[in-house]
Amino acid sequence: MMKEELLVKTGERIDDLQRNGYRIIQNPQRFCFGMDAVLLAGFAREAKGEKLLDLGTGTGIIPILMEAKTKIPKLIGLEIQDESAEMARRSVLLNHLEEKIEIITGDIKEADHYFEPASFDVITCNPPYMIGQHGIQNDNQPKTIARHEVLCTFEDVARQAARLLKPGGHFYLVHRPFRLAEIMVTLSKYKLEPKRMQLVYPYVDKEPNMMLIEAARGGKPRMTVEKPLIVYRSPGEYMPEIYDIYGY
């Protein structure tokens, strides 16, 4: 096993994940995981099965968090950016999880080139939220690729999830409420039946700014809308549910 100091490069840092003693390597100049990834891992509480795939895994945060809370023996992260994928592999080594988590460099749009059809029980995704060119200054910047649909669209994600999930397999995603109608139509198009949804509100008196969705491949029509998740009681103070999700 490589020594810790050999796993971290200049400009990077190690953050404590508050789960099983796990930590993660991040570079603030590239992209650091946000609350959306943590909430998605918390929302996927029913995840079971033999294999999990995280599409667009970035730093590998979701496979690491999911390994900490499930008994799934094999977790795979797919990431198109070489530097992010390489950093994720070093986080896997840092946590001694190389026997359970694998990071593959590849394009979401070609995910079915890397994996057999209907080979995953669970697929997770924290996809780029933004459409169009609003706010984009450089299409190649890591933060732009993570936030904007530069390299893939939500339809690309849904198409690949439908191809790679086993019948009855579960797809978990986090997205923005302003795209709810489009996302529901796209999920239905690819026979990914929405089963659960939870809206996330920054404060009790504000509009929701995130939504968590669980869909089942080939599931019957019936969706449960769970009670709202409120993030902050006051500025800088989380609600108890958020502290629970973070493991504090």
What is the assigned CATH class of domain 4-246? alpha beta
**Do the Cβ atoms of 41 and 247 come closer than 8 Å?**
no
Give me the pLDDT at residue 161, please. Answer: 98
CA distances (Å), 201 to each of 43, 95, 206, 222, 243, in order? 15, 32, 6, 24, 15
Hey, where are the domains in the chain? Answer: 4-246
Give me the pLDDT at residue 147, please. Answer: 52
Backbone angles phi, psi at 110, to 5 degrees: -115, 25
Determine the angle formed by the axes of helices 35-43 and 61-69, rounding to 10 degrees: 30
Backbone angles phi, psi at 129, to 5 degrees: -90, -35
**Do the Cβ atoms of 138 and 144 come closer than 8 Å?**
yes
Give me the pLDDT at residue 136, please. Answer: 46
Average model confidence (pLDDT) across the chain:
89
Count of other CB atoms within 10 angstroms of residue 222: 8
Bridge partner list, 225: 197
Helices (H) and strands (E) counted in the chain, each on its own, are 9, 13
Put simply, whether the predicted model's pTM sits higher than 0.85 gets the answer yes
Give me the pLDDT at residue 32, please. Answer: 84
What tokens were used for 170?
């579960």
Alpha carbon distance 78, 76 (integer Å) = 7
Give me the pLDDT at residue 19, please. Answer: 87
Low-confidence stretches of the chain (pLDDT beneath 50): 1, 136-138, 140, 144-146, 148-149
Give me the pLDDT at residue 123, please. Answer: 97
What tokens were used for 121?
């029980």
Alpha carbon distance 81, 75 (integer Å) = 19
**Do the Cβ atoms of 140 and 188 come closer than 8 Å?**
no
Determine the angle formed by the axes of helices 154-164 and 180-189, rounding to 10 degrees: 30
Q: Give, for 124, the enclosing helix (H) or strand (E).
A: strand 120-125
**Do the Cβ atoms of 214 and 196 come closer than 8 Å?**
yes
Q: Quick one: which of 35, 36, 69 has its CA closest to 52?
A: 69
Give me the pLDDT at residue 29, please. Answer: 83
What tokens were used for 64?
């690491």
Give me the pLDDT at residue 2, please. Answer: 56
